[in-house]
Amino acid sequence: MDQIQLARALDVSRSAVNAWINDRAWPMNRIAALEDLLSIKIPRTLEEQQEASRVPVNGTGPPPPTDPTERELYDLAVVDAGEEGAWAVVEEYRRRRRRTA
C-alpha cells in the first residue's frame, strides 16, 4: 500500500501520511482506523510500549516491532547490528519521538 492509498483509506491527505511516516506528526485521531486497516496494535502508553518490547520467557528476545516505522528501522538495523543492536536503534527512535511529542 502506498501513501496515496493509505491516505484515501483513512480519509486524510497524502501529506498527513507522509508526516506520520517521517515522524513529523502522530495520527492521533486516526490510530484506531490505522490499526484496523493494517491489522496492527499501536502502543499508546509507556506501559504498552514496554509490554510490547518485553523479552518473552523462552529467552528468544522480543518479537519485531509492530509499528511500521519502528519495524522498518529494526529490519534495516538487524542486518548490520544483529537483533540486540536493532532494538537499540528502535529504542533510540522511541526516545527521540517522546522528546518531540
If asked whether residues 59 and 93 sit together in one domain, one would say yes
CB atoms within 10 A of CB 23: 13
If asked whether residues 56 and 87 sit together in one domain, one would say yes
For residue 35, what are the domain limits? 1-39
Sign of CA dihedral 41, 44, 46, 47: negative
If asked whether residues 93 and 53 sit together in one domain, one would say yes
**Owner of C-alpha cell 517522546:** 98
Q: C-alpha grid cell for residue 26?
A: 502522530
pLDDT digits (tens, 9 = 90+) for 4-50: 999 999 999 999 989 888 878 878 788 888 888 888 777 777 777 66
Question: Which pLDDT score, from 0 to 100, does residue 60 have?
Answer: 57
pTM exceeds 0.75, yes or no:
no
Question: Which pLDDT score, from 0 to 100, does residue 5 have?
Answer: 92
Contacts of 34 by beta carbon, 8 Å cutoff, 6+ apart = 10, 27, 40, 42
Q: What is the rounded average pLDDT for all residues in the chain?
A: 79
Say how many domains are in the chain: 2
Give first-to-last CA distance, the chain, whole Å. Answer: 27
Q: What's the alpha-carbon Rg for the chain, to the nearest Å? A: 14
